[in-house]
Chain A
Amino acid sequence: MAQEPLLEVSHLSVTFATENGPLPAVRDVSFRLSAGETLALVGESGSGKSVASLALMRLVPPAPRVSLGGSAHFCAADGSRHDLLALAPDAMRRLRGNEISMIFQEPMTSLNPVHRIGEQIAEAIIFHQGASHRAALARAGELLEKVGIPDAHRRLSAFPHHLSGGMRQRVMIAMALACTPRVLIADEPTTALDVTVQAQILELLKELQHANGMAVVFITHNLGVVAEIADRVMVMYAGLIVEEGAMVPVMTRPRMPYTRGLLHSVPRIDPETLGSAPLTAIPGTVPDPLHLPPGCAFAPRCAHAEPACAAAPPPLEPAGEGRLVRCRRWRALAEAPA
């Protein structure tokens, strides 16, 4: 615990200015990330998980279209601390793709189709480390080898369309890892891939993390993937953290009814109980961020909601085992069977 966190996000908020008024996409999100740790960020589409990560990378449009609040202190390799949200654009550019990097969901659209993949990987090495073109390409070849691309050095001259989806995602990973980042933000890196390829990519990330002590923020909606890779889990709903804690307790004894709902929605592969009971779906849909309910955002879909839940927003409070829960009724529900 004495170790200082690599990344400390406090009260992060992201609000988009729209024709219909301010749209709060991320509200009061705080978390810490230590070296070597994997934090899974879970939520449905529109929960704010991708926007939060883009804001940390400063890849959201500038004010006045988007307003950022809070702070995100990052501890750089030289020991200096920077607030990512307040850093000047050129200082941010020196960190981004270097000490903090990101893997995007869509390997098809995030690679430049008119440049050879070797050049695309080498670009970051030349920019951040001042390497020569030749040395950067050699390093790019090593990286491709490391991420498991067969015949790596010859593939340097391939264009993205020559590669399959799994291979392109490996190229994205190689690019993100080019400068050995301290923090990697991976936004649904395996969602577009087949399960067998997903298994290869998850294994690869684990290996690389083990070797470099890199911290990972892994954004996903797949709870199976969370169970595979996460040390801690943060569940988001309507822009807010609704539950956060160590992975195993959260996944096996969820406290927030939304987390429970998500876990019960997933069919299980168990030959004995197959299809015997209907899935417990969460009724309704996520609220419109422009018209959020005054109380708990999940209350309209919650089976356990009381009148008090709809009246005022519940606080995010400690629920033991280092866990945080945003639910007025978690104590009462903890005793009831899931």
Chain B
Amino acid sequence: MTAGAPLVEVTGLRQWFRVGGGFFGRQDTVRAVEDVSFAIARGEVLGLVGESGSGKSTLGRAVVRMSVPTAGTIRFEGRDITRLGRRALRPIRPRMQFIFQDPFASLNPRMTVRQIVGAPLAIQRPELDPAARAGRVAEALQTVELSPAHLDRYPHEFSGGQRQRIGIARALIMEPRFLVADEPVSALDVSIQAQILNLLIAVRQKLGLTMLFISHDLAVVGHLCDRVAVMYLGRIVEIAPTRALFRCLRHPYSQALFSAAPVADPTLRRPRILLTGDLPSPLAPPSGCAFRSRCRHALPACATAVPPLREAAPGHAVRCIRDDVALGPPG
């Protein structure tokens, strides 16, 4: 799968937000994404898992430059796009698209499907004549298995699954190279989830897409992704090829996360690692390893410095100073 230079390369990315402030208020900094580095090869799907507050959505948005990163670099097709302004980004935008989580909030209720799906074309390719534009819209709808009869309907006439198809058609119409999908199936019923996942797999193969797939659902990520990165409080704590990760979990947080995911098979009973407490506030993360306050393997040394992301096996990196806590496959 890996051929030549990666399509997307992120190095030391940091995304901080200032909160509070005002006349009397104290200003604080939320370190939503901290020192994140990874590369996605052409045609590869990288999964990003973590709980609410782990920074996975912030990271996804930063990678396609929906925000201005605080530090670090983002290279897309070999070009540094970290500091590009709005105008310089414009010719790059069509090649990187985004699918949003909520199919109810991400479609304009006053636009028809034809207008929604055609909007990126109208902005990026104003020179296209109406017939050519209509042709492209029809083609995009066909790719997501919606019928041309739907063209002049409004979002409220569709179910959640169909709306997510419209969102995918809108992302695909510019023929992107790179797609960031932020929890695209989380708001959908199980039976519909499977339809959308199958669709994403089909379009990925058909169009040779490279993807960053963000989800809190490990089974969904495992099904779709070539590699998986696990995030905790803004940092990647483990990253590995999917199968290697599922066979051997090396970070105590990944282990807890995997053991907490319920499995729809009553004959599989797994020992569960119960985490105590909640995610610490990203305003005041624990010193050293951010997970140490909830980690059952924590040592005094964990409090002194942030552990580096070290390679524990080929392609399998983990941010933990202990190498004696690896866990076999779940089940």
A residues touching B (Cβ–Cβ < 8 Å)? 44-45, 150, 164-167, 194-200, 202-203, 221-228, 247-248, 251-252, 261-271, 274-275, 278-283, 285
Report which of A164, A227, A264, A271 forms a contact with B278, defined as CB distance below 8 A.
Answer: A164
Q: Give Cα distance in the complex from A212 to B261, angstroms.
A: 27
Q: Assess A194 versus B194: contact at CB under 8 Å? Given A251-B266, A266-B264.
A: no
Q: Give Cα distance in the complex from A94 to B192, angstroms.
A: 41
Residues of B within 8 A of A275 (CB): 201, 222-225, 242
- Name the distance in Å between A56's Cβ and chain B's nearest Cβ: 23
Cross-chain contact A269 with B267 (CB below 8 angstroms): no
Cross-chain contact B197 with A267 (CB below 8 angstroms): yes
Residues of B within 8 A of A197 (CB): 51, 278
Cross-chain contact A227 with B222 (CB below 8 angstroms): no
B257 proximal to A (CB < 8 A): yes
Interface of B, helix, strand, loop or mixed by DSSP? helix
- Contact digits for B262-274, partner A, Cβ 8 Å, 1 yes 0 no: 1111110000101
Cross-chain contact B274 with A199 (CB below 8 angstroms): yes
Q: Give Cα distance in the complex from A195 to B329, angstroms.
A: 18
Residues of B within 8 A of A223 (CB): 190, 264
Report which of B191, B222, B267 forms a contact with A261, defined as CB distance below 8 A.
Answer: B191
Report which of A164, A247, A267 forms a contact with B220, defined as CB distance below 8 A.
Answer: A267
Residues of A within 8 A of B161 (CB): 285
- Name the distance in Å between B271's Cβ and chain A's nearest Cβ: 12
B277 proximal to A (CB < 8 A): yes
Cross-chain contact B191 with A44 (CB below 8 angstroms): yes
Q: Give Cα distance in the complex from A281 to B223, angstroms.
A: 14
- Name the distance in Å between B277's Cβ and chain A's nearest Cβ: 7
The listed residue with most A CB atoms (<10 A of its CB), out of B189, B201, B263, is B189
- Contact digits for B212-243, partner A, Cβ 8 Å, 1 yes 0 no: 00001011101111000000000000000011
Cross-chain contact B195 with A283 (CB below 8 angstroms): yes
Q: Assess A263 versus B266: contact at CB under 8 Å? Given A200-B274, A281-B195.
A: no
List 19 contacting pairs A-B, 8 Å CB cutoff, sorted by A: A165-B52, A199-B262, A199-B272, A222-B190, A222-B262, A223-B190, A224-B262, A224-B264, A269-B218, A269-B222, A269-B261, A274-B222, A274-B242, A275-B223, A275-B242, A278-B201, A279-B223, A282-B194, A285-B192
Chain A residue with the shortest CB-CB distance to B198: A278
Q: Give Cα distance in the complex from A317 to B216, angstroms.
A: 39
B153 proximal to A (CB < 8 A): no
Chain A residue with the shortest CB-CB distance to B261: A195
Q: Give Cα distance in the complex from A167 to B277, angstroms.
A: 9
Q: Give Cα distance in the complex from A265 to B225, angstroms.
A: 17
Q: Give Cα distance in the complex from A164 to B223, angstroms.
A: 30
- Name the distance in Å between B194's Cβ and chain A's nearest Cβ: 4
Residues of B within 8 A of A265 (CB): 190-191, 193-194
Report which of B159, B192, B257 forms a contact with A196, defined as CB distance below 8 A.
Answer: B257
Cross-chain contact A44 with B189 (CB below 8 angstroms): yes
- Name the distance in Å between B329's Cβ and chain A's nearest Cβ: 5
Cross-chain contact B260 with A196 (CB below 8 angstroms): yes
Cross-chain contact B330 with A227 (CB below 8 angstroms): no
Residues of A within 8 A of B262 (CB): 195, 198-199, 202, 222, 224-225, 227-228
Cross-chain contact A271 with B51 (CB below 8 angstroms): no
Residues of A within 8 A of B243 (CB): 271, 274
The listed residue with most B CB atoms (<10 A of its CB), out of A248, A262, A268, is A268
Chain B residue with the shortest CB-CB distance to A282: B191
Residues of B within 8 A of A222 (CB): 190, 262
Residues of A within 8 A of B275 (CB): 196, 199-200
- Name the distance in Å between B53's Cβ and chain A's nearest Cβ: 9
Cross-chain contact A267 with B260 (CB below 8 angstroms): no
- Name the distance in Å between B238's Cβ and chain A's nearest Cβ: 15
Residues of B within 8 A of A279 (CB): 194, 197-198, 223
Residues of A within 8 A of B195 (CB): 281-283
- Name the distance in Å between B230's Cβ and chain A's nearest Cβ: 12
Residues of B within 8 A of A194 (CB): 51-52, 216
Cross-chain contact A266 with B190 (CB below 8 angstroms): yes
Residues of A within 8 A of B223 (CB): 267, 274-275, 279
The listed residue with most A CB atoms (<10 A of its CB), out of B198, B247, B259, B260, is B260
Cross-chain contact B263 with A224 (CB below 8 angstroms): yes
Report which of A269, A278, A282 forms a contact with B258, defined as CB distance below 8 A.
Answer: A269
Residues of B within 8 A of A228 (CB): 262
Cross-chain contact A281 with B191 (CB below 8 angstroms): yes
Chain B residue with the shortest CB-CB distance to A199: B260
Cross-chain contact B267 with A252 (CB below 8 angstroms): yes
Cross-chain contact A281 with B194 (CB below 8 angstroms): yes
Cross-chain contact B194 with A271 (CB below 8 angstroms): no
Residues of B within 8 A of A278 (CB): 198, 201
Residues of A within 8 A of B190 (CB): 44, 221-223, 262, 265-266
